[in-house]
Chains A and B, each alone.
Chain A
Amino acid sequence: MSEAIYTAAFYVFGLAAVVGALGTVAARRLIHNALFLVLALASAAALYVLLSADFVAVVQILVYTGAIMILLLFALMLTPQQVELPATAPAGQQLAAALVAVVLFGLIVAAVLTGPWRQAVVPLNAPTSAPLGTALLTTYVFPFELVSLVLLVGLIGALLLARES
């Protein structure tokens, strides 16, 4: 498909992602925050699709809808129904948060501007699951196993905490 459609799609989904991200931090009810997070993550998945990263896009949705569901469950269990959260945090917390946000934003902008990006003129449009699988089980098998070890430790930790006495 032509460049114009790609560009249009990029701006639509990019805008949706930004709106979702803003809503996630700005909305006053926990459920709304979670739903905005769904929008942000789904739009990010759409952006992955535009970058021909089909596998990452689909896995993003597969993993994060389940994760958001659990987040929602916690929100429902920990907060009274339909209560609006206080808009202001303590002054110290606001200062610290602003500082972290500014530094992080600066770092990301610097990385984007100075990074050695290779620009693909034409989208690759090739399946990615097979090369990804091969890479994970050959070249990057050690980091891959390490990550699964971290997950295993998390699992055992959860079991240990959940066990009575």
Chain B
Amino acid sequence: MAVLNDLLSQVGGWLGGVLRALLGADLATIVFLVISAGVILTFLAACITLAIWAERKVIARIQDRVGPNRVGPFGLLQSVADVLKLFAKEDTIPGGADRLVFILAPLLAVVPSLMIYAVLPWNWDAVVARLDVGILYVLALATFPTLAILVAGWASYNKYTLLGGMRAAVQLISYEVPEVLAVLPVVVLAGSLSLWDIAAAQRAVWFILAPVVGPLAFLVFFIAGLAEINRSPFDLVEAESEIIAGFHMEYSGMRWALFFLAEYANAFTVSAIASVLFFGGWHGPLLPGYLWVVLKTALLFVVMVWIRGTLPRLRYDQLLALAWKGLLPVALGSLVLAVAVRELGAMSWHPLLLLGINLGVVYLLFRWYTDLWRAAQYRAAAPLLEAAMQGVRS
């Protein structure tokens, strides 16, 4: 097991040694970084191919369908076939488009999304850049895809794409505030901005178990993350019923596929960062650390798909109200609570006690939400009931 656990650093160490012997220290560092990036990108591409298949399968099951099942066993090769089709498609650029910006926008979406993986700790001994300001780096790069969407919407010279792009910008400006604030409790508890340090600080207890703070901060982070990457139920940027396909309407073939790739890379990023911030990163029993990271990320991704299959798209006013009236106060409150938790030393309490407290919190949240939902149902039904009563009376 120990051999498997250090697998990444063993291979890395061996490769580094060989490169240093062949090329000298300077060039070896650069070549090593390029190879690491290549390995991560290849792995990511494979993961995304699988994720698209998994998403279609899970969504299909939620909607009582079978999903892709023709290409390869269980339809596993469906995504491969789709990519081949996209390669073969005609590359079109609209006549009125701003050509250079139109071509640059997909790259501006993809490259920063992939750059984030440089700081993700795959294991305690396997991280490309142990950046001291890791989480800020992630948050900074996560804003670029939205900039790309806005620019793509403008460059396409089409009113629907422009509307989609402007929606993306407004959504990002609103949801970035609660997202950054939801990261801060974890930073307070871990006492560091580095993703590696944050994961290492959860050796005994995962931060999701931090009393009251854990679930609240995770909820805000995950919801704001979904909104920031424009995933359902926050996909107003490409709401088919309102603005056709939104920002990517004029894109075809591989240019469109780059946006698609960025979207899935971002979904993985939110899952992976959430698993590092709240679910202990590489910590877990039996399996090697890197498998735990992948497993937790995959589980959170399936939760995203589950949410997509369950919830309808938000209306625009609901979207903004949720950010400013709902998530922002909760995030600020959890930041204050995190300081209290740190001062009380609550993270060293017995894990079962922490689990009990947080299960209570989750239960209360659930009760509150159910009551809210019922009240809304009654409010919606009240005029109908009133009309029916009138009919009975007369």
Q: Work out how many contacts link A and B, with CB atoms closer than 8 A.
A: 78
Query: In the complex, how many residues of chain A place their beta carbon closer than 8 angstroms to a beta carbon of chain B?
Result: 28
The answer for the CA separation of A69 and B193 in the assembled complex, in Å, is: 25
Which of these binds chain A: B142-150, B247-255, B313-321?
B142-150
B151 near A62 with CB under 8 A, answer no
B147 near A31 with CB under 8 A, answer no
Q: Mark contacts of B233-266 with chain A using CB atoms, 8 A cut-off: 1 yes-contact digit, 0 otherwise.
A: 0000000000000000000000000000000000
Q: Mark contacts of B123-144 with chain A using CB atoms, 8 A cut-off: 1 yes-contact digit, 0 otherwise.
A: 0000000011100110111011
The answer for the CA separation of A69 and B151 in the assembled complex, in Å, is: 9
B166: Cβ under 8 A from any A Cβ: yes
A66: Cβ under 8 A from any B Cβ: yes
Asked, given contacts A65-B143, A76-B154, whether A129 binds B172 with beta carbons under 8 Å apart, the answer is no
The answer for the CA separation of A44 and B289 in the assembled complex, in Å, is: 37
Per the 8 Å Cβ criterion, residues 82-105 of A in contact with B are 82
A38 near B147 with CB under 8 A, answer yes
B169 near A69 with CB under 8 A, answer yes
Considering only CB atoms, which chain A residue lies closest to B137 in the complex? A58
B47: Cβ under 8 A from any A Cβ: no
A21: Cβ under 8 A from any B Cβ: no
A51: Cβ under 8 A from any B Cβ: no
- Shortest distance in angstroms between B113's beta carbon and chain A's nearest beta carbon? 13
- Name A65's contact: one of B132, B147, B154, B193 (CB within 8 Å): B147
Asked, given contacts A58-B136, A58-B140, whether A129 binds B193 with beta carbons under 8 Å apart, the answer is yes
Residues of chain B within 8 A of A69, CB atoms compared: 143, 146-147, 150, 169, 172-173
A73 near B169 with CB under 8 A, answer yes
The answer for the CA separation of A31 and B148 in the assembled complex, in Å, is: 12
A72 near B151 with CB under 8 A, answer yes
- Name A31's contact: one of B101, B133, B176 (CB within 8 Å): B101
- Name B173's contact: one of A29, A32, A66 (CB within 8 Å): A66
Per the 8 Å Cβ criterion, residues 25-81 of A in contact with B are 29, 31-32, 35, 38, 54-55, 58-59, 61-62, 65-66, 68-70, 72-73, 76, 81
Residues of chain B within 8 A of A128, CB atoms compared: 132
A158: Cβ under 8 A from any B Cβ: no
Residues of chain B within 8 A of A73, CB atoms compared: 150, 166, 169-170
B133 near A54 with CB under 8 A, answer yes
B371: Cβ under 8 A from any A Cβ: no
A127 near B173 with CB under 8 A, answer no
A5 near B26 with CB under 8 A, answer yes
A129 near B154 with CB under 8 A, answer no
Residues of chain B within 8 A of A110, CB atoms compared: none
B147 near A129 with CB under 8 A, answer no
Q: Mark contacts of B200-223 with chain A using CB atoms, 8 A cut-off: 1 yes-contact digit, 0 otherwise.
A: 000000000000000000000000
- Shortest distance in angstroms between A115's beta carbon and chain B's nearest beta carbon? 28
Main SS at interface, chain B: helix
- Shortest distance in angstroms between B296's beta carbon and chain A's nearest beta carbon? 25
A2: Cβ under 8 A from any B Cβ: yes
B96: Cβ under 8 A from any A Cβ: yes
- Shortest distance in angstroms between B34's beta carbon and chain A's nearest beta carbon? 14
B176 near A66 with CB under 8 A, answer yes
A159: Cβ under 8 A from any B Cβ: no
B162: Cβ under 8 A from any A Cβ: yes
The answer for the CA separation of A82 and B99 in the assembled complex, in Å, is: 12
Residues of chain A within 8 A of B155, CB atoms compared: 31
B131 near A65 with CB under 8 A, answer no
Asked, given contacts A32-B101, A81-B157, whether A68 binds B147 with beta carbons under 8 Å apart, the answer is yes
- Name B96's contact: one of A55, A62, A65, A82 (CB within 8 Å): A82
- Name B136's contact: one of A1, A62, A68 (CB within 8 Å): A62
B10: Cβ under 8 A from any A Cβ: no
Residues of chain A within 8 A of B147, CB atoms compared: 38, 65, 68-69, 72
B144 near A81 with CB under 8 A, answer no
B154 near A31 with CB under 8 A, answer yes
The answer for the CA separation of A93 and B254 in the assembled complex, in Å, is: 47
Asked, given contacts A54-B131, A73-B169, A82-B96, whether A2 binds B26 with beta carbons under 8 Å apart, the answer is yes
What are 10 A-to-B residue pairs whose CB atoms are below 8 Å?
Answer: A5-B26, A31-B98, A62-B143, A66-B173, A68-B147, A70-B169, A73-B166, A76-B166, A129-B132, A129-B133
Q: Name B residues whose Cβ lies closer than 8 Å to a Cβ of A.
A: 26, 29-30, 96, 98, 101, 104, 131-133, 136-137, 139-141, 143-144, 146-147, 150-151, 154-155, 157, 162, 166, 169-170, 172-173, 176, 193
Chain A to chain B: the 5 pairs with minimum beta-carbon distance, closest first: A127-B132, A62-B140, A61-B140, A65-B143, A58-B136
Known contacts A58-B140, A72-B150, then 18 further A-B pairs from the complex at CB < 8 Å, ordered by chain A residue: A1-B29, A2-B26, A5-B26, A31-B101, A31-B154, A35-B104, A38-B147, A59-B136, A59-B140, A61-B140, A62-B143, A68-B147, A69-B143, A69-B150, A69-B169, A72-B154, A72-B169, A76-B154
